[in-house]
Structure 1
């Protein structure tokens, strides 16, 4: 199930129409329609406004985060943070190397 489907279910359970949701979020009916139809992408602000209007909370779990198949996934949060920091350092070193190689061009 994607987020739009979850919103549709919540709307149905609460008896909220697209028009009512558009009015409570400040978005046009067409904007809400396009979001729910998958014709427009959700962003953080839109997610927050719609969740607030419907009384929903967004919970992100490790299982819902997509990973590339060549990345080792671990449930240990500290390991993920350490790996993230290591990769950021490598990117920083690469940027420095590129900068030094291209100086004077």
Structure 2
């Protein structure tokens, strides 16, 4: 993993924490989704993004999201191991865990610059 990708991921997590502290739930979820996209191709970051989402869902008492994150935590190792990940997927429970999604342009640039593209 390149330091560049890890820094970009850490910046998104920091922005998530800032939004969560400010009680800006929508912005917090948006930053977690961005962190997931950045970390998806790296097993450790991928799992950490789902753990962060699970923790936030628990704090919000969002049963659907908790259940969705538990399922994704079970699927993520298999996806990373086989290389069969839905690239660009935001990692949230309201989207299929198998649906690839378009990666926002600025995140795509960060992934390419880090040499982490699949």
TM category (shorter chain) comes to 0.3 to 0.5
TM-score, normalised via structure 2 length: 0.30
Greater C-alpha radius of gyration: 1
Instruction: Pick 1 or 2: higher relative contact order, CA cutoff 8 A, min separation 6.
Output: 2
TM-score, normalised via structure 1 length: 0.32
